[in-house]
Structures are given as structure tokens and as C-alpha cells.
Amino acid sequence: MPELPEVQTVANHIKPYVIGKYVLSINPIWDKVLDNFHHQDIKGRNKILDVTRRAKFIIINFEKFLIAVHLRMTGKLYVLEGTDIPKHTSAIMELESGEKLIFEDTRKFGRIYKYDDLMLINEKHGPEPLEDDFTSEWLLTNFKSRKRNIKALLLDQSFLSGLGNIYVDESLWASNIHPNSISCYIPKKKIIILHKNIREILSESIEQLGTTFISFTFLNGQSGNYSNELKIFGKQGAPCIKCSNTIEKIKVAGRGTHVCSKCQKIHK
DNA sequence: CCATGAACCTGGTCGC
DNA sequence: TGCGACCAGGTTCATG
């Protein structure tokens, strides 16, 4: 599930259930899940002050530290209903209220981190695409100063936070830019359009509670509806809605990539 | 500085 | 039905 809109949706969803409550412990079920700390480092009862998002991390804020949860490919974070612990549970956070916050992760790539503050995460991540410091001027300057494959660059979290395979493909298609373009050769006009499209697509997806696929319902019957809005991702073989050319699936930057070769021009 | 491929894992799908 | 190959919305590391 996990690009910016999905992570934001999870953080928004969990927040009202846990805010103001006390965490007693974090139990690793899969032994590698706690990346940079030991479960015994969590002492006593710790009050959850807030649940937020930075990049693709869900940030659980406590008074003296924070817990950052990265869902990677298949992670899910939710308050358990009932008593059966799901098969692929990676970790369980026990609340004083008796509730359990479950980190379920089929492929076990997800990790939980403990930090004093956001410093270390901020150092390794680019701007938030929906914040004011992500401007078209910034994007222009930083595209021109690099000579990189555009898709690889947009996926690079140290460059820009939060985009993943779905939203990069959608943003590039909306901007008529081929994913094999080189950043410094993309015309200014298209960079400005791309900037606008990234923000619009992410905002719209957050409103729709993100993209989830048919087989996965979110929680309490809620599911993300942005899957209905996808224009290019997963549409290989179908006609492009702008030009009716057949959408292809190719490999770019090591990832499956959806492209309309008629609409999307290669700048290189 | 940049690109590529492997590694980390499990499960679903597709072709034979 | 069975089986192998390949794929998956992410990130990191080694190598050239």
C-alpha cells in the first residue's frame, strides 16, 4: 500500500484511536523488525502525543522520542479488532487500554525505528511535495543541476519524499514526459506542469484515501478509491485516454513502468 | 555522480 | 492439478 497518500491515510486513520493513550511495550514477532533499537529500550508507560507522517514513515510521537514505521511493500498498521493475531504479524504495540496496535507485513521488509526526533530522517530525505518549500523553481533548479533518468530521480527519496512507482508513472503521463527522459533536458514548461501534476495527483489521492487494490479492504470496510482514478498504472494493453494509443509496460530504473509512447516524449 | 542488479521475503498469477 | 518462472506499490548495498 505504501506511497505518500497511503501512508498519510494510515496515519490519519490510526490517530484518533491511539492519541492520548499509553504504549506499554513493543513486541517484535519477526526478529528483524526493530531496526535500530531493542524492545527493552521502551521503558514504562509512554503517552502517544500525535501520529503524523514524514516521507513514507508513519511517525508516532511520544514525549521523549518517536517511533517511525516504514511499511515498505506489504506492511499494514492498524488497531486490532478481536483477539486473533494475524498470521504475518511482525510486531505488536501493547496499549495500556488493552488494545493492540498491529504491524502486519507479509513480505517482512517493513521496519520500525526509534529516534529522538526527526533529524536523522530529515537529513536523508528531500522536501515534502505538498509543502510550500517544494516549488516549481526548486524542481527546475534541481532537475537542471543533475543528469539523471527522470523516473529514478523522482523515486529517489533523498531527492523528493513520498513518490513511488504508481504516482511517478501517473505524474509523468499527466505531464507528457517519458520516464526515460534525462532530468536536465526536460523543458522548463514541462517541469512547471510536472510540479503542478505531482501536487494535484497526490492531493486527489489523499482525498480518495489512497490507492488500494480490489482484494484489499482497508479497515472497517474503508478502502482507498484512487485506484478508480489511475490513468496509466496497470493499464498496459488498454488505450491511452488522451490519444487511444496502446499503453505499454516497459522497465525503467529497474521497475515496471507504464507509458504511452505517443503522448510521452523522451527528452534526452 | 550515475546506472544496474542483487538482496531482503512471501504469495499470487500465468503458461505449459 | 501441478510446477516453475516471473512479478509485486520499497530500500539498501556492491559494483562498474
Give the tens place of pLDDT for each residue, A125-165. 999 999 999 999 999 999 999 999 999 999 999 999 999 99
Tens-place pLDDT, residues A198-243: 999 999 999 999 997 533 444 544 568 999 999 999 999 999 999 9
**Whole-number pLDDT of residue A214:** 39
CA distances from A219 to A30, A99, A166 (A): 23, 16, 22
What percent of chain A stands above pLDDT 90?
94
CA atoms in the 13 A half-sphere facing the CB of A104: 17
CA A216 to CA A41: how far, in whole Å? 34
pLDDT at position A244 over 60? yes
Farthest-apart Cα atoms in chain A, separation: 61
Active site residue A204: no
Q: DSSP label at A30?
A: S
In this prediction, residue A224 carries a pLDDT of 85
Distance in angstroms: CA A215, C1' C11: 25
User: What value does the CA radius of gyration of chain A take, rounded to a whole number of Å?
Assistant: 20
Nucleotide B3's nearest residue (CA vs C1') is: A253
SS3 A70: strand
Rounded to the nearest integer, the mean pLDDT of chain A is 95
Cα–Cα distance for residue pair A141/A154, rounded to 1 Å: 14
Closest nucleotide to the alpha carbon of A152, via C1': B3
Q: Say whether the CB atom of A1 is under 7 angstroms from strand C.
A: yes
Give pLDDT, residue A212.
79
A206 CA to C2 C1' in angstroms comes to 43
Query: Locate cell 519524499: which residue?
Result: A161
On the CB side of A205, how many CA atoms lie within 13 Å of its CA? 29
**Nucleotide B9: closest residue by CA–C1':** A107
Amino acid of residue A260: C
pLDDT of residue A115: 98
User: Phi-psi category of A205—alpha, beta or left, where left has phi over 0 and alpha has psi -120 to 50?
Assistant: alpha
Task: Say how far A249 CA is from C6 C1', in Å.
Answer: 15
- A44 CA vs C10 C1’ separation (Å): 33
Catalytic, A129? Answer: no
Query: Does A210 contact strand C, using a CB cutoff of 7 Å?
Result: yes
- Between CA A22 and CA A155 the distance in angstroms is 36
Can A2 be counted among the known catalytic residues?
Answer: yes
Best CA proximity match to A103, nearest among A19, A43, A16, A32: A32
**What stretches of chain A adopt beta strand conformation (E)?**
22-28, 46-47, 50-54, 57-61, 66-70, 75-79, 89-95, 100-105, 111-115, 248-252, 255-259
User: Are A112 and A31 in contact, with CB atoms under 8 Å apart?
Assistant: no
pLDDT, one tens digit per residue, over A187-197 is 999 999 999 99
The proportion of chain A whose per-residue pLDDT surpasses 70, expressed as a percent, equals 96
Exposure letters A204-237 (e unless 16+ CB within 10 A, then b): ebbebbbbbeeeeebbeeebbebbeebbbbbbee
* Section A3-11 average pLDDT: 96
- Whole-number pLDDT of residue A215: 35
What was the pLDDT predicted at A217? 43
CA distance A177 to A169: 10
Catalytic residue flag (residue A111): no
What is the CA A208 to C1' C1 distance in angstroms? 41
pLDDT at A53 over 90: yes
Q: What does the alpha-carbon distance between residue A104 and residue A110 come to, in Å, rounded to a whole number?
A: 9
pLDDT in tens, A226-237: 999 999 999 999
Cα-Cα-Cα-Cα dihedral sign, residues A158, A232, A2, A130: positive
Catalytic pick among A108, A199, A249, A255:
A255
